[in-house]
Amino acid sequence: MRYADLHTHTFHSDGTRSPAEVVDLAIDAGLGILSISDHDNLAAFHQIRDYAADRGLLLVVGTELSAEYRGIDIHLLAYAFDPHDQPMEERLARFRETRRTRGHRMVERLRELGHDILIERVEQLCGEGAMGRPHIARALMEIGAVDSFEEAFATLIGPGCPGWVAKERFTIQEVVDLVGRAGGVTSVAHPTLYPDHGEITAELLDLGIDAVEVFHPDVDAESSELYQALARERGKFVTGGSDDHGAAKSLKTIGTVRISEERIGPIVERLEARG
């Protein structure tokens, strides 16, 4: 029986690890299946798929998308879609473009506030990936504007803070359609992080989301049982992962949360069908 960690990040989004490091750590942890679920981009997947295959690790194409539902920011994990699907690639590219524009606007605001943050450094930190507030937080730390990530989010770049600019978000329907048409499946990421999550998660499944992430560091045992029962009831399945971000969230480490292959049949079957 193989085990999977289906939720990890690299420096192509808000993690600090390289794709190769994530693959190596997954193998060291005894995992047979891994998904790198960077926000809004597949750069890590394309970069590391041959390396993972050579090392005998089944790499599941994945990404984590931000959607708005009832005014709440919902994270949806997408898996096992065709990694070369044109509409999917184009939509992700457009989304990254709006992230970049937003990053530039945030840096402008921060500079107006008197912080000597450089957009060039933020660009450098995010590379070819999805620009996000963690890159801005790191740049703010480097210039000594804040002492920690926490301080950056609490005082400058959190929602409503002077340096904050809202991010574009998908609708649930758009994610369901986009990923479905690309041959993939979707899962509600870390359900317990949303207000009224019992109600919301059930509604998301009814809107066409295929699974719930019932194994995650922020999902307690009781909620996990609850959501496993909900998924069963609705004819859906479950996913799980550590949400490793490397040093950016050091308590979430690859392999500490794992899910057995038999539970993620809809994902493995899609990969096998595509070859």
- By CB under 6 A, name the binding residues for ligand AMP: 14, 132-134, 149-150, 153, 167
Determine the Cα–Cα distance for residues 168 and 165; give it in Å rounded to an integer: 10
Question: Is the Cβ of residue 33 or residue 106 nearer to ligand AMP in the bound state?
Answer: 106
- Give the C-alpha separation, 5 to 256, whole Å: 8
Q: Write the CB contacts of 56 (distance below 8 Å, at least 6 apart in sequence).
A: 27, 32
User: Which of Fe ion, Zn ion, ligand AMP, none binds 216 (CB below 5-8 Å, type-dependent)?
Assistant: none
Does residue number 14 form part of the binding site for Fe ion (CB under 5 A)? yes
Find which of Fe ion, ligand AMP, Zn ion, none residue 40 binds, CB within 5 to 8 Å per kind. Answer: none
Binding partner of residue 133 among Zn ion, ligand AMP, Fe ion, none, CB cut-off 5 to 8 Å per kind = ligand AMP
Shortest Å, Cβ 248 to ligand AMP? 6
Site string for Zn ion, 26-65 (x = CB under 5 A): --------------------------------------x-
Q: How many CB atoms lie within 10 A of CB 10?
A: 29
The CB-of-14 to Fe ion minimum distance in angstroms stands at 4
| 144 CB-near residues (< 8 Å, 6+ apart) | none
Alpha-helix residue ranges (DSSP H) falling in 113-220: 119-126, 133-142, 149-151, 172-181, 197-206
Say how far apart CA 199 and CA 86 lie, in whole Å: 34
CB-based closest residue to Zn ion: 243
Shortest distance in whole angstroms from residue 8 CB to Zn ion: 8
Residues that bind Zn ion (CB under 5 A): 64, 243
